[in-house]
Amino acid sequence: MPSRLEALNRWVDDVARLTQPDRVHWCDGSDAEANALRAQMLANGTLIELNQDTHPGCTLHRSHPSDVARVEHLTLVCTKHEEDAGPNNHWMDPAAAHEKIDALFAGCMKGRTMYVIPYCMGPIDSPISRCGVEITDSPYVVANMRVMTRMGAPALARIECEGSEALARGAQPAFVKGLHSIGELDPERRFIMHFPEELTIKSYGSGYGGNALLGKKCHALRIGSFQAKSEGWLAEHMLIVGIENPQGETHYVAAAFPSACGKTNLAMLIPPEGYREKGWKVWTIGDDICWMRPGADGRLYAINPEAGFFGVAPGTDKSTNPNALASIQHDTIFTNVAVTADNQPWWEGLHEGAPATDWQGRPYDAKNGPAAHPNSRFTVSAKQAPSWSPKAEDAQGVPISAIVFGGRRPSLVPLVFEARDWAHGVLVGAAMGSETTAAATGAVGVLRRDSMAMKPFCGYNYGDYFAHWLSFDKAGAKLPKIFHVNWFRKGADGKFLWPGFGDNLRVLEWIIDRCDGKAGAQETPIGFVPRESDLHVEGLALRDGALDELLDVDLDGWAAEVEDIGRYLDSFGTRTPERLRAEQRRIAESLARENEPQRRAVAS
């Protein structure tokens, strides 16, 4: 089924000549195609059928044990000039990179089918959406792309239409080209390469979501952020959630947290009982990626470019995320979870059932570690979430009232604070830090700076990215307010001080009320922090003094933090905008001024 777009056919032919598949299959996204692929994968063991009485339509995929997470050290951004990729990315010269990876692709699809997947990131009729084509030799990738993107005939029609319009203007068709092969699943022969200036992705040697479902991190974030910079919008690692108050008004909040820090939980939050009774509702637009652009009224409008959730399974339970648990009872692809004796999916944190077989297919034995891999996942259509918002299909997107940044910060960082203006908010996002998680290979629990939660995903120099964020602050803009939250603060006993999950709505309520000018706060050098009386915590069983600790601003601790932020900004050299440095100096000076009387008192 060749396309009407010559440039697309030519690329598919070139790839087939390089990779030498036995067959080429153009994916139309139909049910018949999905059923045939599923039958084939069940027959050859790529998928295992789960208990169809309890989990109709659910399957399990067990990946190669060395292919379970994103591989940041093998993920490259290949721009003509190394400075344009920046110190936040691993870089390779584009010509050298193509040569290296094409050598791996040569002949790699012999004996395999090459699937051509046209896809659209975002609602098919949205001007904010962007299209791509992924070529892969993995039917598991096709099945996941079908859930995670709008894939098949409608996407191909949009690509063809936009391509012909571009040609008529004398320009080149601008769909993203993604080439993927699982290769030999050999970690020594694995690369995830991005060529943002060519709108091209080449990924070899991994079948894992973030490395292989090229619409997700590779397109929607790395290539997307690069496109966004040149076209005046933002591609961000953010959930989008709608909070409806008892008056029936819905505010949309976009929130950036690093991988596996609770974005899915916040996007699907269930209000605490008292809030439910009063009529509060939470609507899910997206749980991982947000594309935002200014609308005609100056506000930022956001879409979720994805159509599904690729969520972390461990920890998902009735008590933590009942909406996610309800979503994955049917028609879900599980990857690397354990199974119970009666073939139901199981993971650590799921209170029902017990593991009989671990994620590698071995009889479960606690000596081998967790039953489910800590980064085991579910792939499910967003529409299956009870909290799914029909506004997720809105071509114009939803207006964003607040942007929230957050990370795992066991100490120092208060439960919530508000930046005093956009530039301060950009600094707050740039300074974000978090403990690393199992979503990427490497040590877990190490504190690292992760600006806007985009460290693994920003497709260009962070210094330029900060400047791009600052550029939205212009005449006529009605920008969202910016906040920082920390659900992960621990007390001296090492236990979390804040209950999190549904109770996070209490913090979102303060955030929304701040946007509407309805909630109080005290001004501190780091921003506006609620007083205890500004938060609604009635009926919440917090330990004695916990709220005081959660809202405390430790001036000495912050002085050291802000100094470190200064060093971090310096690491991007002259690309760091002066406006951001000035903001860092302003806060450092304000902290020094506040600290001065205390120092004098101690000295006398």
The catalytic site residues sit at 261
Beta-bridge partners for 119:
132, 151
The amino acid that residue 201 corresponds to is: I
The site partner of 236 among Mn ion, ligand OXD, none (C-beta below 5 to 8 Å per kind) is: none
Provide the residue count of the chain: 604
Q: Which of 227, 217, 230, 231 is nearest to 289 (CA)?
A: 217
The minimum distance between CB 176 and ligand OXD, in angstroms, equals 18
Nearest approach in angstroms of CB 313 to ligand OXD is: 12
**Which C-beta is closer to ligand OXD: that of 200 or that of 375?**
375
**What minimum distance in Å lies between the beta carbon of 384 and ligand OXD?**
18
Q: Which of residues 304-343 bind Mn ion (CB under 5 A)?
A: none
Q: Is 489 helix (H, G, I), strand (E, B) or coil?
A: coil
> Which among Mn ion, ligand OXD, none contacts residue 209 (Cβ within 5 to 8 A by kind)?
ligand OXD
Binding mask 29-68 for ligand OXD (x = CB under 6 A): ----------------------------------------
Question: 323-332 burial by CB neighbour count: b if 16+ within 10 A, else e?
Answer: bbbebbeebb
∠ CA 279-282-287, rounded to 5°: 175
Q: Which of 134, 288, 393, 583 touches ligand OXD by CB under 6 A?
A: 288
When CB distances to ligand OXD are compared, the closest residue is 259
DSSP codes, 351-399: -SS--SB-TTSSBP-GGG--SS-TT-EEEEEGGGSTTB-GGGG-TT-EE
Exactly one of 283, 310, 501, 558 binds ligand OXD (CB under 6 A); that residue is 310
| Residue 259 in the binding site for Mn ion (CB under 5 A) | yes
Our CB check for ligand OXD shows the closer of 270 and 440 to be 440
How many residues bind to ligand OXD according to rule CB under 6 A?
7
List the 377-381 sheet strands across, edge first. 48-49, 59-61, 333-335, 377-381, 308-312
Amino acid found at 356: A
Nearer residue to ligand OXD within complex by CB, 11 or 140: 140
Range 241-260, binding ligand OXD (CB under 6 A): 259
Residue 205 interacting with ligand OXD (CB under 6 A) = no
Asked if 451 touches Mn ion (CB under 5 A), the answer is no
Closest approach of ligand OXD to the CB of residue 440, in Å: 7
**Cα distance between residue 60 and residue 44, in whole Å:** 13
Near ligand OXD by CB under 6 A: residue from 121, 282, 398, 439: 439
Q: How far is the CB of 263 from Mn ion (least distance, A)?
A: 7
Q: Tell me how far apart the alpha carbons of residues 134 and 119 are, in angstroms, rounded to a whole number.
A: 8
183 binds, among ligand OXD, Mn ion, none (CB under 5 to 8 A by kind): none
Q: Is 134 in the site for ligand OXD (CB under 6 A)?
A: no
Compare residues 212 and 427 and give the one whose CB is closer to ligand OXD: 212
Burial of residue 351 (CB within 10 Å: 0-12, 13-18, 19+) is: exposed
Angle, helices 555-570 vs 578-603, to 10°: value is 150
Given the complex with ligand OXD, which of 140 and 310 has the nearer CB atom?
310
Q: Does 210 bind ligand OXD (CB under 6 A)?
A: yes
Contact flag: residue 70 with ligand OXD (CB under 6 A) = yes
Q: Counting contacts by CB under 6 A, is residue 222 touching ligand OXD? A: no
CB 336 within 8 A of CB 376: yes
What's the CA gap between 256 and 451, in Å, rounded? 9
Name the helix (H) or strand (E) containing 149.
none
Asked if 288 interacts with Mn ion (CB under 5 A), we say yes
CB-based contact 470:577 (threshold 8 Å)? yes
Residue with tokens 């930046």: 419
By DSSP bridging, strand 481-485 and strand 398-406 are parallel
Does residue 209 bind ligand OXD (CB under 6 A)?
Answer: yes
What part of residues 512-531 is at the interface with ligand OXD (CB under 6 A)?
Answer: none
Amino acid at site 188: E
Name the site residues for Mn ion (rule: CB under 5 A): 259, 288
Name the site residues for ligand OXD (rule: CB under 6 A): 70, 209-210, 259, 288, 310, 439
